[in-house]
Structure 1
């Protein structure tokens, strides 16, 4: 989150005069205790995102500032307020947009040149830049001789733009003053709405962030202005039943108690604006205010993150409460497409960019609850919350070993390697599984690479086959540990650890704790290299049955072969016809589905049309051409219902693919039962 002008002034004051007290700082800058407290929290979040220590306050109101803050900010002078009155093209562009949003008169080019003190050519150039900005909102600027310059597009998108631009202008240098001038907003009107919103805060038992409290009067005034001019909100999927019972809906009624009749759609939209507004604190979270299943979704997201980042977060319940406070308004922003279009990723430090990547990989429980993809800017804010929490508790992934898996054999095989190696090395942060082409463009920092073939890299490279037997796993683990640490870590006895813990603490769930400890320390044990016990595993012979095996001598084309192979799965409704088209598309894009000299595994993503897990096999005695390099005799269609359930069977299939003798036996088999017998011999481990 960027620092506002007020935050910058406070930080600048603290850097220049670290001996100042809270009371003097409040008096000098005309601040309330609440405003100063909020700004200090904002400054600390910003410092942490820059990998700098936070500023602490003593009980007597003095400030404790680490020398690193003086060194960094004193040298760069990043926080010096802008003194120049010359507007940048970016500022002029935003001022033009607010004029288009708020003007009650017809706008000509002269209005822009006189208000912004620029030439006609500059104004026309700025209007073109404004149009580029509006493209993200699917809005356009149109000029007519009769009405001048106008904004065109859905009113919902215009309102979304209005909220974003108002917020951005308010936190420019002298932004509030320019906003009042450009939109002809009266001080008394602002003060009246400010008072109404503060009264609403008390009724809602919450405190809006100061920046939202400052911005909301302007947003509400401009929205009412558009309503009065007849710009009605278009019908959109706001659910009345979801919003009408909320305290925010009651607040809307209170804020506009003296206004003329406002249509229900407008009341719901303004309620939505209040619901999507971040809060600084809440006195309590009433049960009826909690979105059903939101806390479990956040909890599951955090568990996935902890596993990906190889950490155990301290004071986890407090972090969950903090995330809930942030995610509740984010839930409504995402569900009703009111998130900002601009991502603040450039505010992330290098380490936070790695955290952002891991949070993004863990966000699925939240996306599933909302029923929508989580925008990257919302993920960035969640990253900053988690990252700031980790910093406060001395947690970091900076010193952890980070790895990537590079595999040229397609998505499923790459994912298989990623899962296997993640289980084998629980102390290593695995960032991604990549194709060779993705690897060549990869931007995140990593320390080691796992791949089945040699790669040109200046990092440590470990060659690992796509399918590893038990002894190969142990050998690889020892090789990696010796290379990274110069020694093999001693095995730890879980029972001894349990005895030590019992002597110092009460254990509510001994079996659960023992299981977690076993997973963490016994990395050479079977538990650390197999799928988790509660995950259902399916053997290869359960998926490829005589009923899903087809026998032909040849096929006219690769496309025909894939369609024939997939037909048993379509007939049994395991997949839809759309899944076949997706497989053909991906096989054209990615030739790495070939897993053996005569064997290929076309597949697509679960969302492309998979109803349940399944596999089917087509045997072509004469084979079919797949690119100029391969003649394929065995085509196995894989329908994965999720990212995990099919992996055990895929491991067995990879082992079969490595046997030239058994591949040839399948090619020359005379019946589906004969092929299934061969498959069964690989389905016992």
Structure 2
């Protein structure tokens, strides 16, 4: 990796990373988004240019139009270096959360005595800092896991081995995301275990044997996980719980054969460990492949057939390309079967999936039609799994037929099948002009036989043209902007302006004329202006923050200890007035993933939540303002925490949409931060939030 010779301040780094995804942004947009002056923007742009020059990179170009151009070589450099860090990577200072992750890794992988001196020397911190981080670790650990110390053995992790194994997976994943994360993994695991290369080779061979492609992230971290598990088994720490797995169910899988090779034909390995290792391969996110063992595959295949036929009967529809849909569902359900049966965490984010009113009605039918799958697995299907099954089925209803004259497109995503399929489905709907190849991983793209005209990628690619860098989750404005750019570039569409706000158009018309059929007029104008890419909102839903957020539910504090305290304080008014039970708060805290904070909206708002069945009594909203901010992830310091108590799957949607728009409104957020009293904060939210979200 190339050495970075100087570092960027946080604001310049954020602007550069934003421009990678929004290269057409104007100076005015950047000033509004980051709440900075023209002078501050010029300073940051010059700082970025100096950074580029110092690292022998092509400079950021400011065009006459006021927008910016990111050279391809610069985008590729950012990809190869991971991200733009605010300090030189070799001198990166770990936050307490990051330091806790590395110290946990040291404890888990250690073979000898481990003391505070080791932490202090290795991480270049004082003993007091190391002790404080140990205390922080103990606060974050599950109740049945502990970090203990004794004079003979030093620091050790103890407790329920099944929970420790899950913690090992989380810790390795978190470490891999850190600046220099691979160096920590190599230092504390690979340099102490020469079998890492052996594990990698077996996994690469396993791709051919199992006819699968492991996701890039998974194949990177799985060898480290196997090394620590092997170490724990050698030290006598084995899984005692059977966790409802009958070993004979897994013994006839190809994954079981691969796992036996990893552990030398299962010599001295208890049955529970054989099951655990096999499950790691069976539950890996895969992007392509054949299905399970013959017996289980046959049963699962028949169940999917029955479910799809039942859906057609209930919904009075005929599914086109049903065999293709079945294959895609089976590809998804192979790992899902074991995730569901053995309650393995997936942390799927379904918050950004959009379903129209008609599709939501169809979802209810899909849920009923797939009840036999629950009987087959022997467990209730989690809400997230049902959402993704619905996504597959509903996308089939609107898929376009293949036209050889159409331009071709493909989605390249480094994440697993769930994210890539979701992004693929959204982009297929947004770009009916193109014929899409199946989504692929970064490794698959490099060997792609069919050369797509257009590539939508979540990571920069070494290609001259036709590549559009996208986020894995896109809101409506970003989709509209992407569609306009792609049509301009690829199909020579002459429209050059950003999409006009439909709310402003309707407001202007309403000031000069009486509108009798408001929704019909908005829909027709949208179809003309956005060439069929306009979605009419649900006008029947009248709920808003103004209606639900009362003054008594707004609280301000100067500081909080951590995100857990922030969620508790934000929820307190709802708890006191009987909107929610205490277990709803506990579930929100449990759901929050500090290292993958999907509950953070924009850069300054958090929206923790849980399902209604965890103690919601009635629909409500509360707001907490933390004046000094609070970390909801290593990268996100938020000042506003909204808590929404949903009574069902739909009534709160308009409220959430309004909060999402508020989170993108940098001007309003700046005013909210400056609010001196709870009353001023409340008035700003209810008076300006609604109108700004509509604009």
- TM-score normalised by length of structure 2: 0.43
Larger Rg: 1
